[in-house]
Structure 1
Amino acid sequence: MTYILPGAPWLIAHRSMLGVNQPHKVTLNGQDYALWQNDRGEVFALNNVCPHMQAPLSNGWICKERNTITCPFHALEFDGEGKLHREGKRDIQPFAQPLKLTVIGDCIWTYGDCEPRTGIPDIVEQIASKYDFIGIAGDKTIQGDFLSTWLINSDFNHQNGTHRELFQIVQNQMTEFDKNGYWYKVKQESTRANNSVRELLSNPVLFTIPKILKSTVEYFFPSVLVLYAETGSGPFAQVVVQYPQQQNQTKIYELIFAKFKSVWIKPLLRQSMLKAIDVVVEQDSTAIETRYPHQPTKIRLPNEEVMIYALELYREW
């Protein structure tokens, strides 16, 4: 198996994605895993392949009395250590292979089967302590390699084309670029078009975007990046998560946090905000999936030093 960025910490799930006593399938670096969370909040993960006749454990069910995952073929039960439960007894040796997890708050991290190369960033916990969790958006498997997916989130020019209709941004200026190893940060100012009342009503998310939107994007390569911005309804933080599923498949989802100034506006803006981010991810996915095979770049645009730095980090990993 060829690992993409071995030793990187991957945020493979948020608790809200798991439910309780429900199998959840995750694919990381070509390997499928079955995750589940019990009613005490404990999280477990096993190789998704049943060691008997290779059934996918994630298609089975959870026995909450014994905290086991049950194979859908023959109802064989395995606990979080991969040990088989049968006839009221628990085998000493594991048959199924467990996946080592690190659970911090609501975030479920793993290094896969690799030795850690860099630490787990605590940025999501910092944000969760200051903002309200709004929900998950943009949950999608992109038919594209990990690097292309990361680079499009380091591209400070594509909003003028890819997201032109959604956000009506006519100009984007990068005002600051700091970097230190696997961490880097960008500050930008985005100028929105003069929208008509009809345009605003058809796209409510525009009500939250000032004429000049000042935002900060903080990167924790290669696991997460966070966009911070202040809108008329209050500040928000958009945590973009991605990890490699296969060589040419990348999982992406976003954790959305906000601090609305008025309680009544929260339900009004929540759905439009999550929907807008769904559209952003879909547009980025289309951009990645419809490109022709890589060719040498013949044109340079302003602000591309961020992508160049990300590319260097990837190649030097």
Structure 2
Amino acid sequence: MQSMLPGAPWLLAHKSMLTVNQPRKMSLYGTDYVMWLDAAGDIHALPNACPHMGAMLSEGWCETQGDRTSAVVCPFHALKFDAAGCTVLPGSNKKTLPQLKPLDLIIQGDFIWSYGGYEPKIPIPTILNEFAAEFEFIGYTADVSVKTKLLPMLLNMHDYNHQNGTHRPMFEIEEVQFQKFVDDGHHSHAHYEMPRKKPGLQDILKNPALLALPQTLSAHLENFFPSLVVLHSQIAIGKAKQCHIFVPESETHTRTYVLMFGEAKHPVFSLLKQNFLNLAKVIVEQDADILGKIYADTPQKIKLDNEVGMDWVRRNFVSFPNVVEPNLSK
């Protein structure tokens, strides 16, 4: 269980990812849940297995009750479970005691966090609330479950050398010029530049957002261990905050998705919103693809320059929730 860092906060979803009265499956720490948003705007989550015969409640539907709240309905025998996990058995007009224990959720605006029932060991990052207050929410993308443990997923995201390998087909990055890494315990910043080749016509036709990218990409990653990486981008037509989220679904699967916020400085920025999301989606797809093609338990005999971000992940992973060797800025 320690490999999934119990006691860390995990962002299960942004409210825009839920449709009113439409059940959705979520997984955390090896348990599947059904999550739904009712007409009153409240969000609920119960274990996904019906306590009768184990049917997936997320494959069922929701029925609105008198106060605009709703119950999730099992697709097998149509048993209705309210937000407290109670049901009414056929032939009875009396509600049962809770048969399912609700997942504890922490709702902050449109952000749905959970500690998965464990005692909190580190606080929820506040930066997403700051983005929501300051920038326009562009949308979410690339919501995928990857067959990989949490640690390899985090190492991949903090491997600054993989840009000119894994993401070369998209950006034609020729090298990574690392500048500095600022270490502040569970919070860090990485700054580096990536010169790239000019995109060809076919590349531009596939994704016009490439036209908005400079010849040299300047990356500023702000990291909140273990669940969030923010790419701060600023170009002539606007600012963008690309937020990569990580959730340990189980010992063997990690979910990732992207939330994007922005501030337009030119009308073209607004026209390219979907293209920016598509660009982020391709990046995540490329990362997910390479994670399926590595032997994650292979001993590392070779060390490259600029692996300070990976060292930061390993150190925090081993010492969690404690912080050791802080402020190793480079």
| TM-score strictly above 0.5 | yes
> Which one of the candidate residues 287, 290, 303 is aligned to 1:287?
290
Letter in 2 for 1:60: G
Query: What is the Cα-based RMSD across aligned positions, in Å?
Result: 1.8
Distance 1:178 1:74, change over 3 A: same
Is residue 99 of structure 2 the alignment partner of residue 100 of structure 1? no
Is residue 141 of structure 2 the alignment partner of residue 137 of structure 1? yes
Is residue 7 of structure 2 the alignment partner of residue 7 of structure 1? yes
Which structure 2 residues correspond to residues 71-220 of structure 1 after superposition, within 5 A?
A: 71-85=74-88, 87-91=92-96, 93-196=97-200, 199-220=203-224
Distance 1:193 1:48, change over 3 A: same
Q: Match for residue 236 of structure 2?
A: 232
Is residue 65 of structure 2 the alignment partner of residue 65 of structure 1? yes
CA distance in 2, matches of 1:166, 1:79: 47
Letter in 2 for 1:27: S
CA distance in 2, matches of 1:48, 1:17: 18
More strand by percentage = 1
Letter in 1 for 2:221: V
Q: Match for residue 260 of structure 1?
A: 264
How far apart are residue 36 of structure 1 and its match? 0.5
How far apart are residue 130 of structure 1 and its match? 1.4
CA distance in 2, matches of 1:199, 1:82: 51
Letter in 2 for 1:305: V
How far apart are residue 265 of structure 1 and its match? 4.0
Of stretches 191-200 and 229-238 in structure 1, the one that deviates more from structure 2 is: 191-200
Q: Match for residue 54 of structure 2?
A: 54
Structure 1 gap segments, 5+ residues each: none
Letter in 1 for 2:285: E
Is the contact between residue 3 and residue 150 of structure 2 (CA under 8 Å) also seen in structure 1?
A: no
- Number of aligned residues: 315
Letter in 2 for 1:188: Y
> Which one of the candidate residues 255, 260, 270 is aligned to 2:273?
270
CA distance in 2, matches of 1:85, 1:70: 11
CA distance in 1, matches of 2:60, 2:154: 33
Q: Match for residue 22 of structure 2?
A: 22
CA distance in 2, matches of 1:214, 1:19: 36
How far apart are residue 85 of structure 1 and its match? 3.6
How far apart are residue 192 of structure 1 and its match? 2.2
How far apart are residue 271 of structure 1 and its match? 2.1
Q: Match for residue 297 of structure 1?
A: 300
Q: Secondary structure at the match of 1:158?
A: helix
How far apart are residue 171 of structure 1 and its match? 2.3
Q: Match for residue 43 of structure 1?
A: 43
How far apart are residue 118 of structure 1 and its match? 0.8
How far apart are residue 298 of structure 1 and its match? 2.4
How far apart are residue 154 of structure 1 and its match? 0.3
Residue identity (%): 39
Is residue 278 of structure 2 the alignment partner of residue 241 of structure 1? no
Structure 2 gap segments, 5+ residues each: 321-330
